[in-house]
């Protein structure tokens, strides 16, 4: 899996948008960008993933640059419950029978949402 780089920590005011950046300059053409988050004392939780088009779901939006070397996870209206460590991961999506099934986590970004 390609390596990702994320800031160690970020702060955001409650109700404002949280924009979490991720650099993945060595991403391969068949690798997706995944975002997971981990709230304190819980297991990681899937948020969203994408290949090259921007994606949106009920939790967040994912903006991937045209060259795919970086992406931004957007939480449009952050709440106190969004305080967590956010992990950006790149991997091949569909190769469950091969060697690329693993999610390789880095240290992620600790997002703290302040009241």
Partner 1 sequence: GAGVSQSPRYKVAKRGQDVALRCDPISGHVSLFWYQQALGQGPEFLTYFQNEAQLDKSGLPSDRFFAERPEGSVSTLKIQRTQQEDSAVYLCASSSGRTGKTGELFFGEGSRLTVL
Residues in touch with partner 1 (CB under 8 A): 32, 34, 41-46, 49, 85, 87, 91, 93-94, 96-97, 99, 101-108
Instruction: Please report, in angstroms and rounded to a whole number, the separation of the first and last CA atoms in the chain.
Output: 37
| Smallest distance from partner 1 to CB 46, Å | 4
Q: Which is nearer to partner 1, 63 or 110 (CB)?
A: 110
Q: Which is nearer to partner 1, 85 or 113 (CB)?
A: 85
Measured CA to CA, the distance from residue 97 to residue 55 in angstroms comes to 26
The two structure tokens encoding residue 97: 């029978």
What are the residues facing 11 on neighbouring strands?
112
């Amino acid at each position: 899996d390609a390596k990702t780089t994320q800031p160690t920590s970020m702060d955001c005011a409650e109700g404002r948008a949280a924009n979490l950046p991720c650099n993945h300059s060595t991403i391969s053409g068949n690798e997706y960008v995944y975002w997971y988050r981990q709230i304190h004392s819980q297991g990681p939780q899937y948020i969203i993933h994408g290949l090259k088009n921007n994606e949106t779901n009920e939790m967040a939006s994912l903006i991937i640059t045209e060259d795919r070397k970086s992406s931004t996870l957007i939480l449009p209206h952050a709440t106190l419950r969004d305080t967590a460590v956010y992990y950006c991961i790149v991997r091949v999506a569909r190769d469950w029978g091969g060697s690329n099934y693993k999610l390789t986590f880095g240290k992620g970004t600790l997002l703290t949402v302040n009241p």
